[in-house]
């Protein structure tokens, strides 16, 4: 089959991988319909995080082609959303809300296991991992939004949940990439009264406002902190959501958090948490990779009934032949998030 192959920093190309086959009775084979490029993929693309040569990509929706003998929750022909981590949903870690830590789990697109940026994927632990989508005849808009549930919208939701967003809260969102924009939408879902989005890009500001941002701050660093403090009468945000992972973004998120609050931190850290600053202000932090499989069912219902439309973050579209362009568009900030059309329903 054809799939995106990571060959090294700034070297993504379409190549051939073995057609996936059932290896365990808990496996399923999924034919990919839509996939996308994740912001975390860019860390590998830029050479800032290690990645084995081979398969890449972990966000996809598709149609079940075949199932192992022990898979009963999905069947051939089902449209499914695949969270970026496969998990058994029954081990102590999954039961404690951390599917990322599943004792039997793993990542799609890690160089060896099939990646979502390819024509098909062998899904281990398919019965507990894949989420079937009810109904038929879904619009393209709906399919795009379903795709975001595999990671980016679930990650934005995790930021808001980890930050303890409650009804009426003032929320500050650091980062205007797809995760940050999804966090704005998630904060609105949870009833935030005021959502301050830090963004310097007009196209992203438009989506942030559509998703529920009430205020936009274009400054960065100390200037951003000063602006938010002025807007909140010197108090700061009830919840601060860090959705980038750079040292500056992490420092800003903690500076914006009011004493006694929690920073929801979901950007892959490439900088240090300012522990002393947080300690003396009683600011906590929670977060990490999102347990997407846990969040997908509740978010799925709202996508299907039109309550949320997170697919708006997918603003660049191409096919598998042009996967290198999909990466370059995001790397050069010509796109918020790149969509790959790979198959059909």
Q: What is the pLDDT of residues 7-62, one digit of tens each?
A: 999 999 999 999 999 999 999 999 999 999 999 999 999 999 999 999 999 999 99
Spatial distance between the Cα atoms of 64 and 337, rounded to a whole number of angstroms = 25
Q: Chunked in runs of 10, what are the mean pLDDT values of the chain (345 residues)?
A: 98 97 98 97 94 97 98 98 98 97 97 97 98 97 98 98 98 98 98 98 97 97 97 98 96 97 95 88 96 98 97 98 98 97 96
Cβ-Cβ contacts under 8 Å for 137 (sequence gap 6 or more): none
pLDDT of the residue at 239: 98
Name the pTM for this structure.
0.97
Q: Is 17 left (phi over 0), alpha (psi -120 to 50) or beta?
A: beta
pLDDT of the residue at 270: 87
188 in Cβ contact with 309 (< 8 Å): no
Residue 18 DSSP one-character state: P
Cβ-Cβ contacts under 8 Å for 128 (sequence gap 6 or more): 73, 87, 88, 89, 90, 293
What are the φ and ψ backbone dihedral angles of 139, each rounded to 5 degrees? -70, 165
pLDDT of the residue at 170: 98
Spatial distance between the Cα atoms of 220 and 210, rounded to a whole number of angstroms = 22
pLDDT of the residue at 271: 83
pLDDT of the residue at 338: 98
pLDDT of the residue at 272: 87
61 in Cβ contact with 117 (< 8 Å): no
Helices and strands of the chain, counted as H and E runs:
12, 18
């Amino acid at each position: 089959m054809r799939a995106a192959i990571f060959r090294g920093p700034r070297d993504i190309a379409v190549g051939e991988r073995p057609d996936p086959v059932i290896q365990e009775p808990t496996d399923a084979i999924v034919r990919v319909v839509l996939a996308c490029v994740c912001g975390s993929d860019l860390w590998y693309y830029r050479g800032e995080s290690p990645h084995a040569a081979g398969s890449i990509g972990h966000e996809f929706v598709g149609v079940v082609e075949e199932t192992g003998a022990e898979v009963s929750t999905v069947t051939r022909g089902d449209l499914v959303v695949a969270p970026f981590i496969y998990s058994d949903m029954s081990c102590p870690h999954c039961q404690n809300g951390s599917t990322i830590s599943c004792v039997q789990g793993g990542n799609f697109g890690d160089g060896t296991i099939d990646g979502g940026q390819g024509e098909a994927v062998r899904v281990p632990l398919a019965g507990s991992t894949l989420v079937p989508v009810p109904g038929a005849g879904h619009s393209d808009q709906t399919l795009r939004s379903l795709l975001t549930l595999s990671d980016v919208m679930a990650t934005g939701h995790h930021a808001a949940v980890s930050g303890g967003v409650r009804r009426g809260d003032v929320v500050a969102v650091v980062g205007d990439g797809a995760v940050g924009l999804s966090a704005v939408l998630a904060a609105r879902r949870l009833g935030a009264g005021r959502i301050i989005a830090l963004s310097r890009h007009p196209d992203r500001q438009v989506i942030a406002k559509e998703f529920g941002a009430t205020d936009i701050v274009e400054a960065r660093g100390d200037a951003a902190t000063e602006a938010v403090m002025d807007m909140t009468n010197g108090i700061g945000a009830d919840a601060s959501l860090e959705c980038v992972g750079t040292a500056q973004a992490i420092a800003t998120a903690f500076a914006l958090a009011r004493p006694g609050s929690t920073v929801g931190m979901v950007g892959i850290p490439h900088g240090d948490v300012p522990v002393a600053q947080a300690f003396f202000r009683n600011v906590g932090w929670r977060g990490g990779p999102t347990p997407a499989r846990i969040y997908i069912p509740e978010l799925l219902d709202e996508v299907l009934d039109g309550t949320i439309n997170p697919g708006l973050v997918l603003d660049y579209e191409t096919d598998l032949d042009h996967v290198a362009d999909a990466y370059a568009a995001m790397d050069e900030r010509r796109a918020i998030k790149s969509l790959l059309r790979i198959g059909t329903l």
